[in-house]
Structure 1
Amino acid sequence: MEKKYFVSSAEMKKYDRATINDFQVPSLVLMERAALETVGEIEKRFGKGSRVLVVSGTGNNGGDGIAVGRILMQRGYEVDFVLIGAEEKYSEETRHQLVIIAKYGCTLKSKIESMEYDIIIDALFGIGLSRNVEGIYKKCIETMNSISGFIVSVDIPSGINADTGAVMNAAVKADITVTFAFEKLGHILYPGCEYCGEVLCKDIGITKESFRGEEGPRVYSYADRYREQAAALMPARSRGGNKGTFGKALVIAGSRNMSGACELCARSAYRIGAGMVKVVTPEENREIIQKNLPEALLSTYTDAEKTESWKEFLQDLKESMKWADCIVIGPGIGKSGTASILFKYVVKESAKPLVIDADGLNLLAESEELQELLRTLSLKESRQIIVTPHVAEFARLYGCRPEEVKKDIISKTKELADRLCCTVVCKDARTAVADYMKRDVYLNATGNDGMATAGSGDVLAGIIGGLLTQGVRCREAAEAGVFLHGRLGDLAAERTGRYAVMAGDLTEQLKYILSDEGKRR
């Protein structure tokens, strides 16, 4: 499986130093290669004679920008150079680039004097920015944004925090961002990704060898070629198999007036390849499920406190849990007394792989006893457990505010996984996946805002459950489910537009994304 890394500023600086110090690749060589790659992207879009403004800061990012401007000048572009900042702060490499352009007779300005440019090279700040942008720097960014020209940010838009994607009081709004070696976290996390435009990651000689035998970057995703990845993520499919071969999923979902949750979840488990799906839901949903999803097996119940048949139902549920290869519980079950009893029973009475979603998470957040039981089941009995909270549900489980989760979704997801000893899928505009047995975190780059619609999470729970049912291991099922779920949203948006996407559209796209794509034994 091809991985795409997203590095922090500290990681990138470490790999940069290793390339320079351990492999003896001079810093100025790396700078020249970065400049040449950036120039190549500009030449694809603009011809000779175009007016170019280079806005540089005092650090190495500024040196990159000056080198870009010098090469463009040599290739027939009209270039103005502006450098913002005190001379005593110039890095060695930037000072060297200034000597070079001086020998070519270039004039260096200290402020932007014209608003008439075709191209603006943003090289004011690089990945090391950690403080809010103020004063002349903020004014410079605002001026760059007000020019009607095409903005090219070198490495990252100035004003974006490379680790969090935060806007540090002001930020350049780029048309393209040319970055080097590895993409940065600020390129993918919101709101930073909205300032980057198209991100183009270029090889300048800093490679995986610079990891020096240590573990690689902490955060990764999958490469963008979704059809190849869809095939690689799916479990092998036996031509000689039968419905039992491909696993049995038990979906415990829905409540009165909430039949859609169990239908979406169960249908998604089927569509991702599960051989059999049994739905456990209140009696009120019987006719709807039988009509809309006749393929599913069905078991219904009435409120525990209102029926003498509850014990009989629990016995049937116990048998169903023995029958199943995976259990999904929570979508739309509510928080009634019956839902609570049902949830506790499933957690306590089965050792099968378990996906907990939606109301199941809210019930879990209210019970330290159940959280401790999950830890015990995972550590002592190796039960596979996945929890799939959106940000608000995550905050209730973690014990913090949703804003804190959004601000640090990577670390928070890993911390909750360690606390619960399970795999955690934290759903947001960028979804993170972590578990307690690995240091690294998967950060999903697929999907779009059209998926922010009721029922989308039910579809994801069904997909993950369906993959577990087919024997995919916990962490891999969560990552694959999230990746595929996002791709379904992308396909749905292509067909209907983002405004019109509904949860049911995601499940329907499984027919297309997986057609003839699965690996075969």
Structure 2
Amino acid sequence: MQQQVYHSRDIQAWEQRWFSKQNSSYGLMQQVALTIALKLQKKIESLQIKHIAIWCGSGNNAGDGYCVATFLKQWGYQVDVFAAKLGDSKDLQQAYAYALQNDVRIHEGFEINQIYDCHIDALFGIGLNRQLDEHWQNIIDQYNQQSGLKIAIDIPSGLNANTGQPLPVAIKANITYTVLGRKAGLYTGQGKEYTGDVNVITLIPVDEELPILAKLTDKKICLPSRQAFGHKGSYGHVLVVGGHKDMGGAVIMAAEAAFAAGAGKVTVVCDARHHTSILSRAPNIMLRDINVLDTEHIQVLLDQVDAVCFGMGLGRDEWAEKQYQLWYPLIRHTSDLEVVLDADALWFLAQTPNQLDQHIYATPHSGEAAKLLACSVQEVESDRISAIRALQLKYAGQWVLKGSGSLILENELWICTQGNAGMGTGGMGDVLAGMIASLKAQFHEHITLHDIVTLHAQAGDVLAESGQRGLQAQNMSHAIYKVVNR
């Protein structure tokens, strides 16, 4: 069963429905704190932690912190709470009073004068959606400068629960114990930089009124075994179109990725000056000169293939625009053709928007998405989920918004939790385009777009096993070969 992700406002509404059935809000706060404290106890013992500091704000997230402090104190641990002015919540005040009754030391403010082995963040909860002022920014910076194990309750304070953007700073945790359900901001945007290992504290039953925002992609993907009598014609023919005279590398990486993912045949159509270098690197790739193909020849070629990835290294000059206007209408209207639009094809799509069918997969990064939506990169990154929904609303089709926590919008929204920062290098998008074309050529509707994105991320993780710095997309083929044969 896929892991589901929710919007913070829907989590809060779900809580209120639970409380309206005469369930105790303070009782739930204690259950949350007890569950976290029990999980922490194992970590504390394994790391031989002795001194624990809990940082509490003014809302109910602080109430969780006071309750955690109380349980840890009762179990004999040395606990100090550093706290902001107490808020008006009755549950918070009850948790505060209970901590005092159990001799928990509570200090006003956040002046830390000794070293603690563990710091627990209970400053802000999931409701935070405003930019923090300088006072709170300084407190969060102070927290991040401390040594020891860092724990966040529900969400790292300062991180937007739904977008994964810091406001403008956030706690950097080693472990996040998120309460009731997963929030999107833990997995996309900049969220992975702040959350560490995410553990979900599930304590109340999900009701029918709780809408699912997204799902996390499966980590285990098993492709069907090949039939013993298969041949190169059984596994799809991929066409890679791009390769401006000044940019030959992108089509090579897309084509090699298509072969590594299992395509039976791959043809590259590009400027002929790249042909020698392509053949010297991968003699199994078939080649055509993009400059000598007219409409009739292109249509014949399209009728012979199962999938096409279009736009890698195409360029954006007058020649590239002419090629786009020649190829795109034919690609778009060829029936049963799986189509990947990437890179410069997306640039020209933004110039002349049109509706894409369900067999067209568009794979922008945030810069390309901004061009497609006629907005800024900052606007895209500030709310990636809204951005990908806006892309599908405007253009239809299926979409991948690449980046940390890549988003995939098919009939449902998916978040890819795999991959690594080392993949932030030129050519990784070309590799993804080649993989999508290859696997769709082989399996069509029997493989999902989000499964392919996950396989690409897993290949990146294989490549990063010896380190993330210095990864190169040209080395992805062997890693792809490994993950598609698991």
Same fold (TM over 0.5): yes
Matched residue type, 1:463: M
Aligned to 2:265: 276
Aligned to 1:427: 402
Structure 2 unaligned regions, length at least 5: none
Give the CA deviation at 1:278.
Answer: 1.8
Alpha-carbon distance between aligned partners in 1 of 2:112 and 2:371, rounded to the nearest angstrom: 52
Q: 1:270 to 1:61 in 2, by over 3 A?
A: same
Moved more, 46-55 or 446-455: 46-55
In the alignment, is the contact (CA less than 8 A) between 1:417 and 1:423 conserved in 2?
A: yes
Give the CA deviation at 1:356.
Answer: 1.0
Give the CA deviation at 1:236.
Answer: 6.0
Alpha-carbon distance between aligned partners in 2 of 1:503 and 1:482, rounded to the nearest angstrom: 15
Aligned to 1:218: 213
Matched residue type, 2:429: G
Aligned to 1:103: 101
- For residues 363-378 of structure 1, the aligned pairs below 5 Å read 363-366=348-351, 368=352, 371-372=353-354, 375=355, 378=357
In the alignment, is the contact (CA less than 8 A) between 2:459 and 2:482 conserved in 1?
A: no
Moved more, 390-399 or 457-466: 390-399
Alpha-carbon distance between aligned partners in 2 of 1:391 and 1:213, rounded to the nearest angstrom: 33
- For residues 167-178 of structure 1, the aligned pairs below 5 Å read 167-178=166-177
In the alignment, is the contact (CA less than 8 A) between 1:327 and 1:465 conserved in 2?
A: yes
Give the CA deviation at 1:466.
Answer: 0.8
- For residues 407-446 of structure 1, the aligned pairs below 5 Å read 407-435=382-410, 438=411, 440-446=412-418
Deviations 1:424-478 (A, max 9, x none): 222223322224xx3x42222221221122211110000011121123339x543
Counterpart among 505, 509, 513 of residue 483 in structure 2: 513
Alpha-carbon distance between aligned partners in 1 of 2:181 and 2:69, rounded to the nearest angstrom: 23
In the alignment, is the contact (CA less than 8 A) between 1:425 and 1:433 conserved in 2?
A: yes
Alpha-carbon distance between aligned partners in 2 of 1:329 and 1:288, rounded to the nearest angstrom: 20
Give the CA deviation at 1:156.
Answer: 1.3
Alpha-carbon distance between aligned partners in 2 of 1:42 and 1:401, rounded to the nearest angstrom: 42
Residue 499 in 1 paired to residue 461 in 2?
no
Q: 1:320 to 1:56 in 2, by over 3 A?
A: same
Q: 1:119 to 1:332 in 2, by over 3 A?
A: same
Aligned to 2:239: 250
In the alignment, is the contact (CA less than 8 A) between 1:264 and 1:458 conserved in 2?
A: yes
In the alignment, is the contact (CA less than 8 A) between 1:7 and 1:218 conserved in 2?
A: yes
Alpha-carbon distance between aligned partners in 1 of 2:95 and 2:193, rounded to the nearest angstrom: 31
Deviations 1:173-206 (A, max 9, x none): 3232221232222322343432223322233x23
Structure 1 unaligned regions, length at least 5: 303-308
Residue 384 in 1 paired to residue 363 in 2?
no
Alpha-carbon distance between aligned partners in 2 of 1:108 and 1:239, rounded to the nearest angstrom: 70
Q: 1:170 to 1:469 in 2, by over 3 A?
A: closer
Matched residue type, 2:128: L
Alpha-carbon distance between aligned partners in 1 of 2:49 and 2:429, rounded to the nearest angstrom: 52
Aligned to 1:67: 67
Residue 193 in 1 paired to residue 192 in 2?
yes
Aligned to 1:483: 454
Aligned to 2:341: 356
Q: 1:73 to 1:355 in 2, by over 3 A?
A: same
Deviations 1:68-115 (A, max 9, x none): 1111111111222343124xx332222222332343344543224542
Give the SS at the match of 1:473. helix
Alpha-carbon distance between aligned partners in 2 of 1:441 and 1:154, rounded to the nearest angstrom: 26
Matched residue type, 2:301: S
In the alignment, is the contact (CA less than 8 A) between 1:272 and 1:467 conserved in 2?
A: yes
Matched residue type, 1:484: L
Alpha-carbon distance between aligned partners in 2 of 1:337 and 1:300, rounded to the nearest angstrom: 18
Give the CA deviation at 1:145.
Answer: 3.5
- For residues 17-166 of structure 1, the aligned pairs below 5 Å read 17-21=16-20, 25-47=23-45, 50-86=50-86, 89-112=87-110, 114-116=112-114, 117-134=116-133, 137-166=136-165
Deviations 1:379-409 (A, max 9, x none): xxxx511111222222112111111111111
Deviations 1:279-325 (A, max 9, x none): 212221222233322222322243xxxxxx554xx433211111111
In the alignment, is the contact (CA less than 8 A) between 1:82 and 1:112 conserved in 2?
A: yes
Moved more, 499-508 or 39-48: 39-48
Give the SS at the match of 1:109. strand
Q: TM-score, normalization: structure 2? A: 0.90
Matched residue type, 1:292: R
Give the SS at the match of 1:333. coil
In the alignment, is the contact (CA less than 8 A) between 1:279 and 1:298 conserved in 2?
A: yes
Alpha-carbon distance between aligned partners in 2 of 1:235 and 1:11, rounded to the nearest angstrom: 38
In the alignment, is the contact (CA less than 8 A) between 1:282 and 1:301 conserved in 2?
A: yes
Alpha-carbon distance between aligned partners in 1 of 2:80 and 2:272, rounded to the nearest angstrom: 74
Q: 1:339 to 1:172 in 2, by over 3 A?
A: closer
Matched residue type, 1:512: K
Q: 1:90 to 1:504 in 2, by over 3 A?
A: same
Alpha-carbon distance between aligned partners in 1 of 2:349 and 2:103, rounded to the nearest angstrom: 69
Q: 1:500 to 1:97 in 2, by over 3 A?
A: same
RMSD over aligned Cα atoms: 2.5
Give the SS at the match of 2:167. coil
In the alignment, is the contact (CA less than 8 A) between 1:115 and 1:147 conserved in 2?
A: no
Alpha-carbon distance between aligned partners in 2 of 1:399 and 1:136, rounded to the nearest angstrom: 36
Give the SS at the match of 2:232. coil
In the alignment, is the contact (CA less than 8 A) between 1:152 and 1:174 conserved in 2?
A: yes
Give the SS at the match of 1:471. helix
Aligned to 1:230: 221
Give the CA deviation at 1:411.
Answer: 0.7
Alpha-carbon distance between aligned partners in 2 of 1:239 and 1:206, rounded to the nearest angstrom: 50
